[in-house]
Structure 1
Amino acid sequence: MFQIRYVVFALSLLGWSICLDEDFKFPDGFKIGAASSAYQIEGAFNEDGKGESIWDRFVRQNPSPIKNNSTGDVAADSYHKYKEDVQLLKSVGFDHYRFSISWTRIQPKGEINEINKKGIDYYNALIDELLANKIEPLVTMTHFDLPQALQDLGGWLNPEIVNYFEDYAYILFTYFGDRVKYWITINEGLIMLLGYNLKVIAPGLHINGSGEYLAAHNIIRAHAKAYRLYQREFKEKQNGQVGFLVVGKYMMPFDDSEESKRATERAFQFTIGWFAHPIFSEEGNYPQIMREVIERNSIAEKRRRSRLPSFTPEEINEIKGSADFFGLNHYSTYLVKAKHNFTGGKAMPPITDRDFMVELSCDPSWNSSGGNKNFCIFPTGLRGILNFIKNNYNNPPVFITENGYGDSGRKDDQDRINYHQDYMTELLKSIHIDKCNVFGYTVWSLLDSFEWNSGYSLKFGLIHVDYEDRDRKRSLKQSARYFQDVLKERILPKSAHIKCKTFRKAFITYTKIPLRKTMLKIQLYLI
């Protein structure tokens, strides 16, 4: 029977297609790896000269904002067990390992005149161990764990953070750039902003009105400074790439109303566009709709200027094009409709929500990851967001830097296997059919880790970590064995092929926004 489900940006029926075996093969040179971050796995929070980060401070609040009063003080103890972690990566057959560097392990107080040699030694040893085992390091410079000393100066709200970050990048390029060929500057700027207005993550501030816009402005400027530094002083000799990472939630209109279509446009531009448009668009700067809406709201609030800071013409040019690849973290898809009465909400920061006035929801038929209703599982959304990037930002090279499934930590994790297989199926369609320029896929996460507010109650790892064991014993889950099989043949297993052939699916093309200039049609699923 016909089941009409989801409205998408323009659907072109280019022909009906049954999936072929070659559609499930990964292209030559395609990279498949796993990820982690320093605070979530390293432990050793006060060893060997490491300074205090904002997360070291945040988890010690009373009452604790973390489930079960957990901390990352020991975590998976990867600071002492990195060689074992590398062997686990090798045993699965991964091509790359995305890890982050603890800023305070390198600069205990964020100052360039105080460099911690033992921190340099640790990351040199990790990088060398990876390369000795033919695993490519993909290095994130900072993953939420800003030095507390810099936070005391205002953190990402202080424009001087741009210079501090450039100095930090200089140190990393100098000590590690001869071997690291893939860099990511800053992880998930959009999520970092929650620490400036919702108190739910470090640094735990609630600055009503402007905090997230000021922080985002300096995050983007800091990234561009680091990128231009590399191009100017390191690129010729080291020949690496520096990318920018964006959280890419896919958005679909809740219904076929013009209001929902316009709300979907706003949702895209106030999430992925906020950070991607200044860097990856041809014109640069913030999306026009953001500038218009926030300025209008600021005037209505009797402000003398917009709450959204302005880039100078020189900054627009410096920021535009300041990435060699588009790092994409993708977990969720949302249905979008307009919101008329602001009542707060968990899906997006309140002040942002008040500016773009949308309501995000999941279809009741969708599953969620880890029981978290904000992690809406809809694999086709990955294909959708990749096409959005392709059509709005000139099809840049995309490295999927996180995608993962959370659960309670069971080793027989068939749901995680199903999740990754379904998402990788849509990824391969985006490559083979839609011609999206994607060159890597990174599983979140390698290990069961400290998961921020959830503590250790939510597990994303392919590797089980026994947190009741002082030695933090590691063991492969079934999902790790699944990836062993995938990586041996560089093709998804037959179960994916069979599932695909149970229906014929229209090819999808996505047009540029604004939606109000686009005729929308309906996506059909033949079931």
Structure 2
Amino acid sequence: MAFANFVALLCFLTTSIFTVKGEVRRFPDTISFGVATASYQIEGAWNVSDKGESIWDRFTHTTGLIEDGSNADVACDSYHQHKRDVEMLKELGVDYYRFSISWTRILPDGFSNRLSQDGIAYYDTLINDLLAANITPYVTIYHWDHPQCLQDLGGWANPMMVDYYTDFAEVAFEAFGDRVKHWLTFNEPFVICNQWNGMTAKTPSVGMSGIADYLCGHNLLKAHAKTYHLYDDVYRPTQKGRIGWTLSTHHYEAASRSPADREAAERAMQFELGWFGHPVFSSEGDYSQILKDRVNQKSSEQGYPRSRLPEFTSEEVAYLKGTCDFFGLNHYTTYLVRMPTMALKSSKAGFEDDLGVEKFVDPSWPSSAWVKVVPWGFRNLLNWIRNSYNSPEIIVFENGFPDQGDKDDVGRINYYNGYMNALLDAMEDGCNVTAYTAWSLMDNFEWSMGYTKKFGLYHVDFNDPMRTRMPKASTMYYKSILETRTIERD
């Protein structure tokens, strides 16, 4: 079947079968739409030219901990197929494309003393092609894939990573800042320091939850602030861009109206979103009092001479406050939370022990893999951010649904319908949301899940050396929303 005919068929199927019939709602003109990817997940070409080894190259090649035993050595081969990626973005009609830069493709040795001209040329071409297609580039400087040589020095447990990272960011500003006006310093600091910490390479932090994760977060916050001020002081005056980061979080809803469960839900929000959000977005700055008090209490009970959560000086608190031009948010699902019926004391440090709440889901919620479909949780989360941080501008940088790679992906359509309706509800509540980003442009390497789960709007044939991309039903669904700026109420 010719590609154009295939697209036409999908359009027919999407509009005639999969759309949800109901009230038509319109998005305001103030919101823009895009899609996202990440360098390690799509680029492949892991050892092409002088590219260095990243922590994910080493991890996938040596540990055997990827669910299907795969790696991203080729992945979607976007290093060679990026022009097709831009064609897909044009087909969708997105306003912007969020992608990330591979640290080791730009700085093969990890340090800024040697630049890869091939790596810079690759991103130059991508950026120029996007701008020629009237698609705005949103660039994530770091999406989990730092150089293995820096991990060998301790990774984010090493305070020198603050300087190494800032040097890398400055190279990006110098090379691309004349055209890139939207920057993200980090993708999902919580995941970097909590879920992956000690897993992505052999480091001293292995098995040190409750210590290494807080140290990682402390250094990462400093790296973000230093990079923000570098851009603000040196590059913003001439490049006229914006810079922030994107924080990931589940929404945590109290399991009951009891004060204890409400306390548990707030504690969960402060431990996940507030860990990195509070120092930057709150009026007082610093880690939240909830986080500080809990870790201090648990550290004391376990015999530590001081809190396992590092402290900021008053100067550092002031330096961190306000170091984002917007509130970037990645969100997928919701959990219910309650206070344990019996508080358990542990002699061993651990993040979950510090948190000390029970998380669970309603078995009636639709689900796929780890994602439970709870649109009202998204609305409540956006309102929590509005109420906690004085109504910041919110840009949703990831939201999406996993499946087995179905081309007639009804589950993904229903997910987007529900969550984008919840987004509109939150905007009507007063939340200042200015952009929404679907994860992901295409099926790709999903970290520890390998290729067992797919989030893409476009199907990728990983058995084809050309990694052929084809639209799914959700492609046309999302395209229709962008064209009409309307959605049917779920």
Q: TM-score, normalised by structure 1?
A: 0.86
**C-alpha offsets along residues 132-188 of structure 1, whole Å, 9 cap, x if unaligned?**
001111110010101111111111111111111111111111111111111111111
Per the alignment, residue 59 of structure 1 pairs with: 60
Letter in 2 for 1:451: E
State the Cα distance separating 1:108 from its structure 2 match.
1.2
Structure 2's unaligned 5+ residue stretches are 1-21
Per the alignment, residue 32 of structure 1 pairs with: 33
Per the alignment, residue 423 of structure 2 pairs with: 427
Per the alignment, residue 281 of structure 1 pairs with: 282
Per the alignment, residue 354 of structure 1 pairs with: 353
For residues 254-269 of structure 1, the aligned pairs below 5 Å read 254-269=255-270
For residues 464-479 of structure 1, the aligned pairs below 5 Å read 464-479=459-474
Number of aligned residue pairs: 465
Relative to structure 1, the CA distance from residue 203 to residue 227 in structure 2 (aligned partners, 3 Å threshold; closer, same or farther) is farther
Per the alignment, residue 513 of structure 1 pairs with: none
Output the CA distance in 1 between the equivalents of 2:306 and 2:109: 34
Moved more, 37-46 or 206-215: 206-215
Taking only the aligned residue pairs, the percentage that are identical comes to 47
Instruction: Report the RMSD for the aligned CA atoms in angstroms.
Output: 1.8
State the Cα distance separating 1:203 from its structure 2 match.
6.0
Output the CA distance in 2 between the equivalents of 1:195 and 1:47: 29
**C-alpha offsets along residues 343-371 of structure 1, whole Å, 9 cap, x if unaligned?**
99xxxxx82110020111111111123x2
Structure 1's unaligned 5+ residue stretches are 1-18, 345-349, 500-527
Q: 2:413 aligned to 393, 413, 417, which one?
A: 417
Output the CA distance in 2 between the equivalents of 1:150 and 1:289: 33
Relative to structure 1, the CA distance from residue 367 to residue 20 in structure 2 (aligned partners, 3 Å threshold; closer, same or farther) is closer
Output the CA distance in 2 between the equivalents of 1:170 and 1:197: 25
Q: Is the 8 A contact 1:103 1:145 kept in 2?
A: yes
1:175 aligns with 2:175: yes
1:126 aligns with 2:121: no
Letter in 2 for 1:318: Y
Higher relative contact order (CA 8 A, sep 6+): 1
Relative to structure 1, the CA distance from residue 470 to residue 136 in structure 2 (aligned partners, 3 Å threshold; closer, same or farther) is same
Letter in 2 for 1:382: F
1:438 aligns with 2:437: no
**C-alpha offsets along residues 458-511 of structure 1, whole Å, 9 cap, x if unaligned?**
00000000011111111000100111211111111xxx23x4xxxxxxxxxxxx
**C-alpha offsets along residues 366-422 of structure 1, whole Å, 9 cap, x if unaligned?**
1123x22xx222001111111111111111111100000000001000110110011
For residues 36-55 of structure 1, the aligned pairs below 5 Å read 36-55=37-56
Output the CA distance in 1 between the equivalents of 2:402 and 2:271: 26
Output the CA distance in 2 between the equivalents of 1:304 and 1:381: 39
Letter in 1 for 2:456: G
Per the alignment, residue 454 of structure 1 pairs with: 449
Relative to structure 1, the CA distance from residue 332 to residue 203 in structure 2 (aligned partners, 3 Å threshold; closer, same or farther) is farther
For residues 15-414 of structure 1, the aligned pairs below 5 Å read 21=24, 24-62=25-63, 64-194=64-194, 199=199, 201=200, 205-339=206-340, 340=342, 351-369=350-368, 371-372=369-370, 375-414=371-410
**C-alpha offsets along residues 56-111 of structure 1, whole Å, 9 cap, x if unaligned?**
0001224x000221000000000000010000010111111110000000111221
Relative to structure 1, the CA distance from residue 456 to residue 399 in structure 2 (aligned partners, 3 Å threshold; closer, same or farther) is same
Relative to structure 1, the CA distance from residue 258 to residue 279 in structure 2 (aligned partners, 3 Å threshold; closer, same or farther) is same
Output the CA distance in 2 between the equivalents of 1:368 and 1:137: 32
Q: Is the 8 A contact 1:214 1:308 kept in 2?
A: yes
Letter in 2 for 1:315: E
Output the CA distance in 1 between the equivalents of 2:345 and 2:401: 29
Per the alignment, residue 15 of structure 2 pairs with: none
Q: TM-score, normalised by structure 2?
A: 0.92
Q: Is the 8 A contact 1:403 1:443 kept in 2?
A: yes
State the secondary structure of the residue aligned to 1:234: helix
Output the CA distance in 2 between the equivalents of 1:210 and 1:475: 45
Relative to structure 1, the CA distance from residue 276 to residue 28 in structure 2 (aligned partners, 3 Å threshold; closer, same or farther) is same
**C-alpha offsets along residues 444-467 of structure 1, whole Å, 9 cap, x if unaligned?**
000100001110010000000001
